[in-house]
Amino acid sequence: MNFRLFSIIFVFLFVLPVLAQSLELAGFESFPVFLEAGKPKVLDATGPASVMLEVSVKENVIDGVVSVASYTENPVEYGVEGKKSAKFIGVHVSDDIYGSLEYIDLEIHYNEDDVAGEGIDENTLRIYEWNVMEKEWRMVSTELDLHNNILRTRIKEPGMLSVYGKEFRMIDEKCLERWICSDWGECMNGVRDRICEDISGCGTQDDKPEEFEDCVVEIVSDDNQPTGMIITERTNLLVVGVVIFLVIVLAVLIYLFMVTVKT
């Protein structure tokens, strides 16, 4: 083993793990690799870091090293506004691989229970790449495989990556009240009432209709009816009888007067 390869392996196996301890390293794996141009190589780091890589180079690399680290907390001081973090990954390569690198395809595996436990909506998970110059996380093209709990992307530059998603919000489905009311009762003392029942069984009264309301008794006037005293049928008969009686009495008196005059 030449000195250069020994130095690279030493750095990835001993120096980086020590530095990563301050970041609460969750998993780490380093791969000494021989890479052929045009023949992508698959590296399985799903055990320690929950990541699968496929590395492709433009020129052969004999003594290359690829390392993958997984962190339990944000390795940088910046986050993504309005998003919650689910995972942080570091992908690093040796100089000879970096100089010949064509791309790295990444599969980042996640646990849906962990994501839900963090209050993150699984459907909104995306991969972000740390931009050193701008000091910000930038979202990259992400393929989300909900069935297998995998996020996929392709990067051209090794470095820090993260998985962010929107906070999961429970939708409070309000029970829809359905009220049925009886007809309004008679107006008494300026108030009338009715009975309303909620047939939905919600147990709330947010939308309950009013059961009491003010009212006024309306008097309808008919121009065709007399406005004076109303004489009943019985009263009419009595008056007629009196008139007839008086006529008879008057006729008798006249008759008696005529008889008296003749005699």
pLDDT of res. 256:
78
With respect to residue 244, please indicate whether it lies within any of the assigned structural domains: no
Nearest to 65 by CA among 39, 101, 31: 31
Domain end among 165, 197, 227: 165
CATH of the domain at 14: 2.60.220.30
- Looking at the fold, whether 147 and 68 belong to one and the same domain comes out as yes
pLDDT at 225 over 70: no
pLDDT of res. 228:
47
- The total domain count for the chain is 2
- Looking at the fold, whether 191 and 65 belong to one and the same domain comes out as no
- Looking at the fold, whether 104 and 185 belong to one and the same domain comes out as no
With respect to residue 95, please indicate whether it lies within any of the assigned structural domains: yes
- Looking at the fold, whether 194 and 107 belong to one and the same domain comes out as no
With respect to residue 186, please indicate whether it lies within any of the assigned structural domains: yes
| Whole-angstrom Cα Rg for the chain | 49
pLDDT of res. 94:
94
With respect to residue 40, please indicate whether it lies within any of the assigned structural domains: yes
CB 74 within 8 A of CB 88: yes
- Looking at the fold, whether 21 and 150 belong to one and the same domain comes out as yes
With respect to residue 160, please indicate whether it lies within any of the assigned structural domains: yes
- Looking at the fold, whether 121 and 136 belong to one and the same domain comes out as yes
- Looking at the fold, whether 34 and 110 belong to one and the same domain comes out as yes
With respect to residue 250, please indicate whether it lies within any of the assigned structural domains: no
- Looking at the fold, whether 9 and 109 belong to one and the same domain comes out as yes
With respect to residue 235, please indicate whether it lies within any of the assigned structural domains: no
- Looking at the fold, whether 75 and 43 belong to one and the same domain comes out as yes
- Looking at the fold, whether 26 and 144 belong to one and the same domain comes out as yes
58-82 residue pLDDT tens: 999 999 999 999 988 898 889 999 8
Domain end among 204, 219, 234: 219
pLDDT of res. 32:
93
- Looking at the fold, whether 92 and 199 belong to one and the same domain comes out as no
159-194 residue pLDDT tens: 999 999 998 876 556 788 889 999 988 888 888 899
Domain end among 165, 181, 210: 165
2-54 residue pLDDT tens: 544 444 444 444 444 444 445 567 788 899 999 999 999 999 998 888 899 99
With respect to residue 52, please indicate whether it lies within any of the assigned structural domains: yes
What is the distance between the alpha carbons of residues 84 and 169, in angstroms, rounded to a whole number?
A: 13
Structural domain range at position 46 = 3-165
113-164 residue pLDDT tens: 999 888 999 999 999 999 999 999 999 999 999 999 999 999 999 999 999 9
- Looking at the fold, whether 181 and 71 belong to one and the same domain comes out as no
